[in-house]
Structures are given as structure tokens and as C-alpha cells.
Amino acid sequence: MSFVIRNIDKVIVGDGKVLSNADIYVKDGKVSAIGAGLTVPENVEVRYGSGFCAMPGLWDTHCHVQSSGGIWGVDKDMLPEAKAIRAAAQAEPVVLSGTTTLADAGCDGNISFALRDTIAAGIVRGPRLLICGYMIRMTGGRAGKDTEGEVDGPDSARKATRKMIAKGVDFIKLGATGAVSSPGMKQWSPQLTLEEITAACEEAHKAGLKVHSHAYGDEGINLSIRGGADVVVHGITLNDENLQLMKDRSIQLLATLSTYKAKLPYLDKLPRWQAVKHIQVCELLEANFKRAVKAGIDVVAGTDSGMTFNYFGRSSRELDYMVEMGMTPAQAIKTATISAARSFGLDHETGSLAAGKAADILLVRGDPLADIGVLGKAGGVAQVFVAGRLVAAFDECGKEIG
Ligand SMILES: [Zn+2]
């Protein structure tokens, strides 16, 4: 299957370059060539890009597909099979909104595996899904989860990581500290030890997988960095030492601004323990983010969708928040394209529009470099291609067509 999109007003390549009046030639799911006035074989289908801006498909590098945005504990008695069906229903609006790659950052049982594989098989309409299986965490580290993935000591962390790799995960996720969304612990408390983090990272890196480490507080962030994590997730309270170490080692920050911002209007509906922790984080959120950006840390977009009041289907709001906090639209787009791909070691395969990379393409009405908000507007995203396949097209009002 091949086609060419002719005369696209503007192409945001994703590596900082912007082309005008360019064509994109797609062959066998990949970008074959990109540039003005491309010569292509005669039988190739022609699409028209005039009036559109093209850009790489967006990434949301952090969500929880087994959850739905309900209040903590509300679905604790729901069957795993029901959660899997709900996960499939939630995947569709994600891809329709222009997110072509989504990552699940911790899931019980086989739900994320089943969703990934049914999307890949074309049974479920959704974005490419990357999964980590169970989060590797200390025993008792996260309330409400079953015990798979719980570890005690470096040998146990090594074994749990090896088990996830053998199951076919796409990356490894660590729970290095306490969490806002789990009761009975401070989010700032270190949980995994340096030895446990190091053992898990060694195993992941041997298998060529990246490690995302959930970490709040100076100490847990520092242990994640020194233990070898590639991405600090949340990263609230980044002190100077940790910022310098992240910069020196090219460690990325996955800031998940959305998950804190989404809950703010609903604090009175949250359990008190959760509301208190939220306020603590939100007080630090913006200054922390700005400090990281100023220090030159490579930021990655992820929403933590699935957490309380944080629903699936508009991952680009993360970019809106980044721009509100001082990034340019171009910087924000980078966090959801090439930087996001790098956080999984996939930047040589996708994440920008270049010959040989997956044809994950959005055609957008309006210019996201001038107004990042067009990505979340009804009808802003006009066409969504995943690996060269047109997944959805929308009219100016956002109604699905074709
Ligand atoms: Zn999360």
C-alpha cells in the first residue's frame, strides 16, 4: 500500500525543521520520501494536503489502561475481563484525538498485553500501545494491587524484571517512591533501594529496554538516577544535584502535568488523604517544571490518563499545560514526538517524519506551532495515520467522516 500526500502547506518534521508546500510519500507503512514536488510511481494514490499542516503522530508516554478516571477504589470489584473491555473502549478516543502511540505504565494481569495485541492485530481501533506489564515495586509499596511485581532485595528485583521481559514487555517501569494515588504512604518516601533499582536497570538494559522510574522527592529521584533509570517519572522536587545528574546522563523527565491539573477542580470529591497529597504536589509543580526546562532536561509528554478525573481521549492537553508553563509550542511538540520516542529507544523508528520511519502522521487544520490548542479543538486534527494506515478523518466540526 502506498500513497503520496501532495502540497501540504506546512510539514513539522519533528527534528526542528519545518517544510513548506511539501509532499510525503508513504510506502509499506513507512515514510519513503519527504520534500517538495516528489516524483513517485504512476500508480500511487494521491491525497491532497493543501490547507493542512502535517506533523508526526503524538505520543502519550504514560497512562493506565485498566483504570478509567474514576475515584480511587471505585472499580476494585470489577472483573479483569470487564476492565479489559473498558480498556479497549478507551483506546479508541485516544487514537481519534491524534495520539498514535500510547504507553501503559503499570497494569495488573494481562489486560495491557491483551489490549496491545488486539490493537496490533486490527481488532481494536487504538494507538500503537507500549507496555511494561506490572510495575516493579517494593512489597506493600502500592496499595490495592496484587502482589506480582513486588520485590524485596536486588535478586528479587532482578527476577521480577526478567519475568516481565520474558513476558514480552516494551519497557520496564519502577515504583521507586511512594505515590499520590496510593493511601497509607507519603509520596516523597523512597521505597526501592539503590541495589534493587540497579539490578532492575541492568536486566532491562541487557534486553535493550528503557526504564521509567516513578519518583517523588529528592532521595528517590537520586536513587533512580544513580541506579540507571532512563526516565524520571513525575520528578516532583528536582534539586540542583539531581538536575545536573539528569543533564549529564541524558536522563529524561516525564512530568505528567495533566494528572495534577485534571484533579484540581475536584479536590472536594477526592478522599482526604489524596487531596492533601495533591495540594502538596501542585504547590511545587510549576516551579519544578520550569526549573527542569531551564536546566535543559529533555522533557517527555505523558498524561497519566486513567487516574482520578484524568480521562482518556485528549492527550494533547499535556502540551497545552507545557505551553502555559512557558514552553514554546515547538518545544511542547518535541516532548510528544521525538523525545517521547527516545524515552522508549524507538527514535530511530518513529517520532519524526523522515524517510525510513513509521508513517505516523497527523494532518491538522491550523498551525500548532502558532497555537498548540488546535490539537485539542474539535476538527483540529483532520486525519490520523498510524504506520501508513488512515485510522480516522474528521470534518471541520470534528465529526468523523470517510
Ligand atoms: Zn502513572
Residue 43 CA, ligand 1 centroid: distance in Å? 46
Interior angle at CA 400, CA 395 and CA 402, nearest 5: 90
Query: How far is residue 228's CA from residue 251's CA, in Å, rounded to a whole number?
Result: 9
Query: How far is residue 164's CA from residue 160's CA, in Å, rounded to a whole number?
Result: 6
Residue 28 CA, ligand 1 centroid: distance in Å? 34
pLDDT digits (tens, 9 = 90+) for 143-179: 666 899 999 999 999 999 999 999 999 999 999 998 8
Contact criterion met (CB below 8 Å) for 148 and 139 = no
- DSSP-derived letter for residue 74 is T
Residue 372 CA, ligand 1 centroid: distance in Å? 24
Beta bridge partners of 215: 234
Residue 274 confidence (pLDDT): 87
Residue 358 confidence (pLDDT): 98
CATH topology of domain 2-56+351-401: Urease, subunit C; domain 1 (2.30.40)
Q: Are strands 30-35 and 45-48 parallel, antiparallel or unpaired?
A: unpaired
pLDDT digits (tens, 9 = 90+) for 224-240: 999 999 999 999 999 99
Could you write out the DSSP letters of every residue in 105-145? ---STTHHHHHHHHHHTTSS---EEEE--SPEEETTSSTTS
Query: How far is residue 301's CA from residue 318's CA, in Å, rounded to a whole number?
Result: 7
Residue 344 CA, ligand 1 centroid: distance in Å? 16
Residue 126 confidence (pLDDT): 97
Residue 159 CA, ligand 1 centroid: distance in Å? 23
Residue 86 CA, ligand 1 centroid: distance in Å? 18
Residue 325 CA, ligand 1 centroid: distance in Å? 21
The torsion defined by the Cα of 375, 378, 381 and 386, in degrees rounded to 10, comes to: 110
The torsion defined by the Cα of 160, 255, 102 and 305, in degrees rounded to 10, comes to: 90
Task: Please choose, from the candidates 192, 191, 178, the residue with its C-alpha nearest in 3D space to the C-alpha of residue 274.
Answer: 178
pLDDT digits (tens, 9 = 90+) for 307-321: 999 999 989 999 999
Contact criterion met (CB below 8 Å) for 172 and 163 = no
Residue 374 CA, ligand 1 centroid: distance in Å? 26
pLDDT digits (tens, 9 = 90+) for 21-76: 999 999 999 999 999 999 999 999 999 999 999 999 999 999 999 999 988 888 88
CATH topology of domain 58-342: TIM Barrel (3.20.20)
User: Domain segments of the chain: what residues?
Assistant: 2-56+351-401, 58-342
Residue 144 confidence (pLDDT): 64
Residue 324 CA, ligand 1 centroid: distance in Å? 22
Q: Are strands 30-35 and 231-234 parallel, antiparallel or unpaired?
A: unpaired
Residue 263 has, within 13 A of its CA and on its CB side, a CA count of 31
> What mean pLDDT is predicted for residues 386-392?
96
Residue 144 CA, ligand 1 centroid: distance in Å? 14
Residue 64 CA, ligand 1 centroid: distance in Å? 6
**Residue 376 identity (one-letter amino acid):** G
Residue 309 CA, ligand 1 centroid: distance in Å? 13
Beta bridge partners of 392: 384
Query: How far is residue 111's CA from residue 92's CA, in Å, rounded to a whole number?
Result: 16
Residue 3 CA, ligand 1 centroid: distance in Å? 38
Residue 256 CA, ligand 1 centroid: distance in Å? 8
Q: Please write down the HEC assignment for all residues of 84-105.
A: HHHHHHHHHHHHHCCEEEEEEC
Residue 211 CA, ligand 1 centroid: distance in Å? 14
3-state helix, strand, coil in the chain (%, to 5): 35, 25, 45
Residue 214 CA, ligand 1 centroid: distance in Å? 8
pLDDT digits (tens, 9 = 90+) for 65-105: 999 998 888 888 999 999 999 999 999 999 999 999 999 99
Is the pLDDT at 402 greater than 80? The verdict is: no
Residue 356 CA, ligand 1 centroid: distance in Å? 32
Is the pLDDT at 391 greater than 70? The verdict is: yes
Q: Please write down the HEC assignment for all residues of 160-219.
A: HHHHHHHHCCCCEEEECECCCCCCCCCCCCECCCHHHHHHHHHHHHHCCCCEEEEECCHH
Percentage of the residues of the chain whose pLDDT score is greater than 70: 99
Residue 163 CA, ligand 1 centroid: distance in Å? 21
Is the pLDDT at 16 greater than 90? The verdict is: no
